[in-house]
Structure 1
Amino acid sequence: MHAPSPSQPPAQRNLSKGLTLLLAIACGALVANLYYAQTLIDTIGPEVGLSPQIAGSITTLTQLGYGAGLALFVPLGDLFENKRLALVTTFGAILGSVGIALSGGPAIFLAASLVTGVCATGAQVLLPLASHLATEERQGRVIGTIMSGLLFGIMLARPAASFLAHLLGWRSIFYVSAALMTAIWLALFVYCPERRPEGKLGYGQILASVAGQLRQYRALRLRAFYQAMLFAAFNLFWTAAPLELLHNFDFSQEQVAWFALAGAGGALAAPLAGSLADRGLMWWTSLGALLMLTLSFVGADFAAAATSVIAFAVTAVLIDAAVQLNQITGQKIIFALSKEARARVNAAYMTVMFVFGASGSLIGSATFESGGWTLSALTGAAMGGITLIVFIFFDRGASATTNSAGGNSPA
């Protein structure tokens, strides 16, 4: 597997299956760092000297670091050579993971968590890079494959952390993560091709231009809204569903981890979404995703009422699949908006999705506390239904690419 030379014209570049797989694994490993500590807060907090009231900041700080990286670091993909950025973020994530594993007090632990969160945004540097290297005909499938790796990273992080913590202690997952990312760093150094952006803007102009992408493209605003709502519903489900399993299905933490592992099957929808997007079926794919998510939340309520673990797991897979179908479709569309500003377009899209989508965890906790799983499930269904209504009545050609009317039209 040989990387094309930097001087090669972009039209002649393409991604081999091996390099696509490497980028998918890299994205999954980087983003997984955001979620390892989520199920281990009660264990980590006392050992590093964090009070129960402050222990919740373990996840929050990592997520805040990721949000800051999306806004401040990812746009650099339109300014600096992309491979170098990916190597810097991966190396930073290695240092952050080792720092977490070695930490003996709260200051080092929280600082390392913040660094890890910022550097996890390397995944959002690699994704636009892959879209540049892929041919237009394969772009959707490439994005789908890489995003499936990213979702597998998210979904496998929690059960992997739980299993390793049970066997070897909570620090082991961060040592394993550091080792995995070291191997990825070496593979990226050897095989990842360089890409030097042609833009002449300075850093301040690049940052200002991120918000400008949202103002300019109606398609970007709408796709960011759709995915933010679905990501919030996704976070709602994976916050409230484990509580339902623990309280009403009498699951142990280990059984919850196995349930989360089964839910990762939704990532298999990503290559299908990419294939559908490459065939120009973006509108229909988004419609199907929104319908699937809305109905799956309703089904999840019935499954919980019937205490059917299998049915509940099926709804989890379908919800994850719906989020993936809409995500891949959306990124196929937004990457067609501007080849010169793909990193900035992706930064705008992901920042909106992340900032508003992260509220789903709070909504999941609040609704479960107030009305149990039924209220959580109905809230998730309502979020999907609202998004579906907006999509049907306001999309008006935004779910298209350059070859379709309205897909690239500015506001």
Structure 2
Amino acid sequence: MNPHRVVEFWERSSALHYNLTAVLAWAADCILLSVLLLPLWLRNRDRLFILLWSAALALMGLGLLGLTYVTANARLLLALPVAALVSAEALSAAGLLSLYGKDRPLRFTALCVCLWFVAFVLFSLSALGPVAAVASYCLAVIAIAVYVPHFLFRHAAFEEVRFHLAIPAIFLLEALSALAVAVFYVLEKPAVLHQGTLTSITLVAGFVLFSAKVCLAVWLSIEKYEFHLRKLAFHDPLTGIFNRRGFFERIGERLKTAAPSDLFAYLAIDIDHFKSVNDRFGHSAGDVALIAFTQTVEEEVGRTHLFGRTGGEEFAVFLKVDNVRTATGLAERIRGRLADAGQRQAAGSSPLTVSIGIAVQPGAGFNLERMLSQSDQALYEAKNGGRDRIIAYGPEETPAPADRLQA
């Protein structure tokens, strides 16, 4: 390369008073990361957020490269790399939002770029000179950084990830940083030397925060996929409640913190004659019936008690109770809800009834195998006694059958 062109290139880039080597290094890192992310997307093209982050990194790298090739007075030429930086910010945010179902990246990005362009034109007409592009960039970043936490708090399922507040926190920090720089540019109108210093600060802060957002977004996607894998492993795919593995896993966790004085109840629930539902109406109708049954029981059980599907038409509830009557009261409400629903069904349909076996044990000397054996024995007696009834075993292992409950 011609040495004179190298010197000329350096002088042009130094007109904005930022470190050329650092900017080139940042641009190279962004483009390299963009290339590395592409194979991940090509392996699974359903993961749109990976493509968006790859495009955002590429635009960030191109925008940084463009900044090294313009002069401080070339406002129109400066607008091109700044537009690339704004697009990168918007695409990175769009990738994050797509994890939560907002799949409109192009519209969101175009809106952000339009907002930046309008601000750029207005600031240019306000005689801000070469800082118009930087001030309008800060305004666009503020808009993105405010909107993303607003969307997340309204739509995101934060229970799926740990340390979930890190995502909106980094966006709010970016908004405050950009706001401080924008206010200083607009109100103080610093001299050219200080403009260059503030531009460098803006670049450094933007690069650090952008990198932090990308790292957090990648970590978030990994957490979400691990959450969904755990959900597939521990939840029933049809009803969404715990499967047998997940149900007993959670029972073990509850028992680890149990006190000797605690009293626990296990409700073994079996849908009466469920095979006839599948035979008469088909398996699709049977699936609908299972989902409706699950929703009914969930409304009675609530979130504080454990509810799972332990077999085809077999379910179970595990909860802490004050006495045997508390457990039989819950079983009675479940049976009553199903009976009421059956009476409201149209003629010709098959109302669901349940048989419930209950076993109660204290935390002191708790034996899960014995509890399961007791609940199975109680359920067997309930089904043998005509079904649609509740049989309970107390802590003393003596049967305490409830009165037969007519549907």
TM over 0.5: no
State the TM-score, normalized to the length of structure 2: 0.28
Structure with greater helix share of residues: 1
Structure with greater strand share of residues: 2
State the TM-score, normalized to the length of structure 1: 0.27
Q: Whose relative contact order is higher, 1 or 2, with alpha carbons under 8 Å and at least 6 apart?
A: 1
